Amino acid sequence: MPQTIVNPARLTPPEARALFREGLVTPTSGWSAGWTQANLIALPKEQAYDFLVFAQRNPRPCPVLDVTEPGEFAASLFGGDLRTDLPGYRVYRDGEQVAEVPDVLSYWRDDLVCFLVGCSFTFEAALLDAGVPVRHIEAGTNVPMYRTNRDCRPAGELSGPMVVSMRPVPAELVATAVRITSRYPAVHGAPVHVGDPGALGIDDLDRPDFGDPVEVRAGELPVFWACGVTPQAAVMRSRPPFAIGHAPGHMAITDARDSAYQVP
């Protein structure tokens, strides 16, 4: 690397993971089309119970797709190595980000439980198929993500704001976008808000808290979906002694098909 990936949408999950393991750092929206992508949050066993209850109480932002045994770094949904096969990681101590790194081998601990949390990239192929444009894929950038003024329901020591991702949608396609994404309840499902960033406490769409800004064109509305970076926002507020997350937008590409998370 940096090598040019000609068509990342066509790579299988093992092929994509091999590139990330070799050091490629890139957002993964549009990669390995048809394969489910997931957020990662790894916490010491001591904090893992609180996280599972937090996720149960906040299923829109925190749909748990898989949980490892403590110290394990493969998962039933993810045949690769969770320590190396994502394209980017963030490491937190006492809620402060202390590193952003391409692998976490040197940070690994045997008491870590890894949670794979559903990601809205999962329904982007379905949006495109339905004729709904996805601006950050067109632009080749990372999806914009924002902390909101909506607090999650706390659990034990964990609390924090809901994080959302945003996609600008032409007004005449908003209903289509809602209908399509409603069919994927395990990967954030329908939007949590349409149209008014201020109502979510977002002052400036051009300054996302995570990822890159995108253009909202005339005739488009900003549409907001719950986002799996929410666990990292909870880590930042609640300050557990240690945590590892994916770098926002730099997801785990799993061995599950998008269709596995689609309801009729």
| Contact footprint for a second copy (CB under 8 A) | 48-49, 52-53, 56-57, 64, 66-67, 69, 155-156, 179, 182-183, 185, 263-264
Tell me how far, at minimum, the Cβ of 157 lies from a second copy, in Å.
12
Nearest residue (CB) to a second copy, 42 versus 52? 52
Phi-psi region of 239 (alpha: psi -120 to 50; beta: other; left: phi over 0): left
Nearest residue (CB) to a second copy, 16 versus 155? 155
Tell me how far, at minimum, the Cβ of 19 lies from a second copy, in Å.
30
Q: CB 188: neighbour CB atoms within 10 A?
A: 28
Parallel, antiparallel or unpaired: strands 145-151 and 193-194: unpaired
Nearest residue (CB) to a second copy, 174 versus 205? 174
Nearest residue (CB) to a second copy, 48 versus 112? 48
| Six-digit token string for 229 | 């970076």
Nearest residue (CB) to a second copy, 40 versus 145? 40
Tell me how far, at minimum, the Cβ of 18 lies from a second copy, in Å.
28
Tell me how far, at minimum, the Cβ of 180 lies from a second copy, in Å.
11
- Based on its alpha-carbon atoms, the radius of gyration of the chain, rounded to whole angstroms, reads 17
Nearest residue (CB) to a second copy, 109 versus 179? 179
| Six-digit token string for 121 | 């990239």
Tell me how far, at minimum, the Cβ of 29 lies from a second copy, in Å.
25
Q: Which amino acid is at 129?
A: D
Tell me how far, at minimum, the Cβ of 186 lies from a second copy, in Å.
9
| Six-digit token string for 255 | 């061995």
Contacts 24+ apart (CB under 8 A), 19-25: 19/87, 20/84, 20/85, 20/86, 20/87, 20/102, 21/80, 21/81, 21/84, 21/85, 21/103, 23/102, 24/87, 25/1, 25/87, 25/88, 25/102, 25/247, 25/250
Nearest to 226 by CA among 64, 62, 116: 62
